[in-house]
């Protein structure tokens, strides 16, 4: 079937809720994907940060094949061998004290669980989130998400959610009341523009939460599992939250969400108060165990730190060359290039050049490649981006 036919079918039958690129991807390997016509693309989208271990990593593929032949689903009301194995592996890599887990299917669900935990454990209702923060599109997670483009038309949303400026500890202090249950924040904002906080921000939030006896909930859905150069982004600042939300990369591409919490907090939930039919199913647990092995054994966080510095250097050089680049920022292989105009044209022109790019808002190019990307592939992306920036600068500034 032709690309045109396949695109027409999706457009005809699928909900129109995605900003589509006009290509049909059918295969992937490492940091490369191919469309149905055989064209190769360097993937700097990585499934919106999912593809940390690379596309079709052989160890993840083998784990999925092996498990699919034995058992695909096993409800949480029954014990399971691969679930137990995954729980042990997670406990071994998490920041100290985060050793109780709830399995779900997505980042939004992991945030929903965290909100319920905060309210149940503290007996309070208020959640403080941040401006430009993104936590998902289900109603609770959407209520904590800041941007009106996601929230508009779905009200009334969950009450008792307040938003304060990201990186501003004084505003957080001023907003806390005797009804505040938790502060929910991304260590590095992803959808909000790849924004890294001031160095003292997370440590000060930790101190503030301890002082006010409220929970610190970190949304590491995008930053977790090595993306930023540490296993978890909070480790850059030596901060351990009370609750951590995870998803995207955990199962090598198989849908999975994880909410991690301190034992006394997770234990506030009793039987029947929260559950998920598919959460912790055997297939996703097998995939997650294999993905974690790859992340640890191939030292992907260390690789992200090294290659991230290299990639950021390449982007920074372009920033010095072109006036239309306002700023380059990020940690590890979670990088952003803020432009002085809408980046949509560059994203679509990059497709013609064999590179899949991602945005983070209207004018920020976001780079979330698999951590197995090679230096030569980064070089290729930089060369192509230079050509596109040169064209855009000529068109927009030099006319």
Using 50, 70 and 90 to split pLDDT, how confident is the model at 397? low
Q: What percent of the chain is modeled with pLDDT above 70?
A: 99
Per-residue pLDDT at 271: 96
Q: What is the mean pLDDT of residues 362-388?
A: 98
Question: 10 Å Cβ neighbour count for 95?
Answer: 17
Q: Strands 355-356 and 40-43: what pairing? A: parallel
* pTM exceeds cut of 0.95: yes
Indicate if the pLDDT at residue 398 is higher than 70. Answer: no
- Assign 299 a pLDDT band (cuts: 50, 70, 90): very high
* pLDDT above 90: residue 34: yes
d(CA 129, CA 385): 34
- The CA distance from 220 to 233, in Å, is 7
Mean pLDDT, residues 28-38 = 97
CATH of domain 58-297: 3.40.640.10
Helix (H) or strand (E) segment spanning residue 305: helix 300-321
Q: Model confidence at 399, in pLDDT bands (50, 70, 90)?
A: low
pLDDT at 364 over 80: yes
Whole-number average pLDDT of the chain: 97
Query: CA–CA separation, 335 vs 227, rounded Å?
Result: 10
Q: Where are the domains of the chain?
A: 58-297, 299-336+350-358+373-399
Closest of 45, 46, 37 to residue 3, by C-alpha: 37
CA distances from 114 to 121, 144, 262, 270, 275 (A): 10, 12, 12, 15, 13
Question: What secondary structure does DSSP assign to 159-208, as a single string?
Answer: SSEEEE-TT-HHHHHHH--TTEEEEEE-SSBSTTT-BPPPTTHHHHHHHH
Residue 393's pLDDT is: 81
Residue 297 has pLDDT above 70, yes or no: yes
Q: Residue 1: pLDDT band by 50, 70, 90 thresholds?
A: confident
> Which pLDDT value is given to residue 99?
96
Q: pLDDT tens digit string along 120-143?
A: 999 999 999 999 999 999 999 999
pLDDT surpasses 80 at 396: no
Give the per-residue pLDDT at 132: 97
- On the CB side of 351, CA atoms within 13 Å amount to 13
Q: What is the pLDDT of residue 338?
A: 98
How many C-beta atoms surround the C-beta of residue 350 within 10 A? 23
**Contacts for 57 with CB less than 8 Å, ≥ 6 apart:** 252, 290, 291, 294, 372
- The string of DSSP letters for 78-128 reads S--HHHHHHHHHHHHHSPTTEEEEEEESSHHHHHHHHHHHHHHHHS--EEE
Band of residue 2 on the pLDDT scale cut at 50, 70, 90: very high
pLDDT digits (tens, 9 = 90+) for 211-249: 999 999 999 999 999 999 999 999 999 999 999 999 999
**What gap in Å lies between CA 280 and CA 335, rounded to an integer?**
31
Q: Which of the 8 DSSP states describes residue 73?
A: -
At 394 the pLDDT is: 79
Span 36-91, pLDDT tens digits: 999 999 999 999 999 999 999 999 999 999 999 999 999 999 999 999 999 999 99
Q: What are all long-range contacts of 391-396, with beta carbons under 8 Å and residues at least 24 apart?
A: 391/349, 392/324, 392/339, 392/341, 392/345, 392/346, 393/322, 393/323, 393/324, 396/324, 396/341
Which residues are 355's β-sheet partners? 42
């Amino acid at each position: 079937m032709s690309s045109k036919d396949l695109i027409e079918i999706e457009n005809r039958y699928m909900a129109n809720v995605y900003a589509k690129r006009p290509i049909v991807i059918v295969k992937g390997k490492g940091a490369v994907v191919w469309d149905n016509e055989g064209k190769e693309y360097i993937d700097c989208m990585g499934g919106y940060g999912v593809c940390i271990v690379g596309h079709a990593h052989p160890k993840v593929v083998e784990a999925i094949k092996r498990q699919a032949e034995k058992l695909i689903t096993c409800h949480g009301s029954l014990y399971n061998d691969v679930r137990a194995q995954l729980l042990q592996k997670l406990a071994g890599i998490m920041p100290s004290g985060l050793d109780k887990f709830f399995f779900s299917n997505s980042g939004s669900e992991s945030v929903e669980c965290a909100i319920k935990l905060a309210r149940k454990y503290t007996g309070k209702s208020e959640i403080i989130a941040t401006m430009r923060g993104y936590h998902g599109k289900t109603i609770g997670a959407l209520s904590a998400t800041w941007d009106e483009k996601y929230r508009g038309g779905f009200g009334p949303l969950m009450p008792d959610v307040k938003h304060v400026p990201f990186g501003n500890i004084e505003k957080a202090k001023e907003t806390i009341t005797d009804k505040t249950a938790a502060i929910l924040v991304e260590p590095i904002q992803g959808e909000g523009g790849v924004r890294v906080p001031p160095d003292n921000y997370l440590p000060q939030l930790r101190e503030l939460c301890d002082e006010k006896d409220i929970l610190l909930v970190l949304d590491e859905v995008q930053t977790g599992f090595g993306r930023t150069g540490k296993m978890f982004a909070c480790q850059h600042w030596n901060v351990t939250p009370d609750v951590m939300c995870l998803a995207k990369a955990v199962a090598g591409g198989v849908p999975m969400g994880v909410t991690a919490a301190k034992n006394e907090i997770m234990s506030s939930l009793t039987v029947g108060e929260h559950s998920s039919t598919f959460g912790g199913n055997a297939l996703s647990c097998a995939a997650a165990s294999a993905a974690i092995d790859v992340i640890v054994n191939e030292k992907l966080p260390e690789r992200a730190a090294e290659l991230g510095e290299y990639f950021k250097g390449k982007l920074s050089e372009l920033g010095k060359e072109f006036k239309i680049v306002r700023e380059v920022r990020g940690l590890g292989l979670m990088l952003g290039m803020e432009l002085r105009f809408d980046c949509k044209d560059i994203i679509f022109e990059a497709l013609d050049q064999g590179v899949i790019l991602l945005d983070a808002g209207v004018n920020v190019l976001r780079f979330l490649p698999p951590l197995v990307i090679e230096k030569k592939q980064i070089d290729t992306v930089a060369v192509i981006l230079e050509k596109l920036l040169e064209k855009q600068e000529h068109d927009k500034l030099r006319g």
